[in-house]
């Protein structure tokens, strides 16, 4: 049985009231799962995640962080602060951050380095837009994003990263990549990481409209190690179905 990584990204969703039963349920679901379960929540709920998920089988963390330790950066959160809440994970370079907050490959690289330095597992997102795919640029964009994010890193550091291929055109659209498209790009990314850094066993997830109806098909592809799930993780029943996916 392949051990899948199934990590929810709440984005800017859910409330304190909703999260209480949600975390309880998620801890319960994860306790009997063979898969690795995680959830990335808004910063303000990390204290609650620590209280309710620490010691459970659910990994938890944030959706972004700054690369500096401290300073005059109004509204920002450092890796030290995430460590105050014992975060396991932090999403870095999500396409929404790249698109709406102008995050560059250089920013992503600095954040990846800082997260690794602080012992938090970064989930490094990459993926092309529809225009880039239609213009036959998907592979060059993905290569640029991965190489940019990993600049100056050593083998040992690269081996601690979780990667997530999230084609921008599949995020929040209800239309996922086909399992073939996802497999093709993820195997390309794995070859690149192996060739450039010698890491032959990198973990690469798929993200983009992953849901109960397509999880089995996508997650059973040989190169795909799991999913980064947005919309479908907000409903605990849907997330549970995805978490219960079994793949040979
Ligand atoms: P959706 O599952 O809502 O498409 O979002 C995917 C995503 O962006 C996870 O980070």
How does DSSP classify residue 68? S
Q: Is 94 a catalytic residue?
A: yes
- Residue 157: its pLDDT value, please? 98
Tokens 């459970």 found at: 56
| 175 inside domain | yes
- Residue 95: its pLDDT value, please? 98
Chain segment 150-164, per-residue pLDDT in tens = 999 999 999 999 999
Ligand 1: residues with CB < 6 A are 9, 94, 166, 171-172, 207-210, 228-232
How does DSSP classify residue 61? E
- Residue 54: its pLDDT value, please? 97
Give the structural domain span for 232.
5-243
d(CA 34, CA 27): 13
Give me the catalytic one of 96, 103, 132, 166: 166
- Protein residue whose Cα sits closest to atom 9 of ligand 1: 230
Chain segment 28-68, per-residue pLDDT in tens = 999 999 999 999 999 999 999 999 999 999 999 999 999 99
Number of domains within the chain: 1
Chain segment 67-123, per-residue pLDDT in tens = 999 999 999 999 999 999 999 999 999 999 999 999 999 999 999 999 999 999 999
| 248 inside domain | no
- Find the CATH number of the domain harbouring 234: 3.20.20.70
- Protein residue whose Cα sits closest to atom 2 of ligand 1: 230
> How much of the chain exceeds pLDDT 70, in percent?
100
**SS3 call for 204:** strand
- Residue 247: its pLDDT value, please? 96
The token pair at 25 is 């349920």
């Amino acid at each position: 049985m392949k051990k899948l990584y199934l990590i929810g990204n709440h984005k800017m969703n859910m409330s304190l009231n909703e999260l209480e039963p949600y975390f309880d349920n998620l801890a319960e679901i994860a306790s009997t799962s063979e898969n690795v379960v995680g959830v990335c929540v808004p910063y303000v709920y990390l204290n609650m995640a620590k209280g309710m998920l620490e010691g459970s089988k659910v990994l938890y963390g944030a959706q972004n962080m700054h690369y500096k330790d401290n300073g005059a950066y109004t509204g920002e959160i450092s890796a030290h602060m995430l460590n105050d809440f014992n975060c396991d994970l932090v999403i870095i370079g999500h396409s929404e951050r790249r698109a709406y907050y102008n995050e560059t490959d250089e920013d992503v690289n600095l954040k990846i380095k800082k997260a690794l330095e602080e012992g938090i597992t970064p989930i490094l997102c990459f993926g092309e837009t529809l225009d880039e795919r239609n213009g036959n640029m998907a592979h060059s964009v993905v290569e640029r994003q991965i190489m940019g994010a990993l600049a100056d890193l050593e083998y040992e550091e690269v081996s601690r990263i979780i990667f997530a291929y999230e084609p921008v055109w599949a995020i929040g659209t209800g239309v996922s990549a086909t399992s073939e498209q996802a497999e093709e790009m993820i195997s390309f990314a794995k070859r690149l990481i192996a060739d450039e850094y010698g890491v032959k066993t990198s973990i690469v997830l798929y993200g983009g409209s992953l849901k109960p109806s397509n999880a089995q098909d996508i997650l059973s592809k040989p190169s795909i190690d799991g999913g980064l799930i947005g919309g479908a993780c907000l409903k605990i029943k849907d997330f549970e179905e995805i978490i219960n996916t079994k793949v040979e």
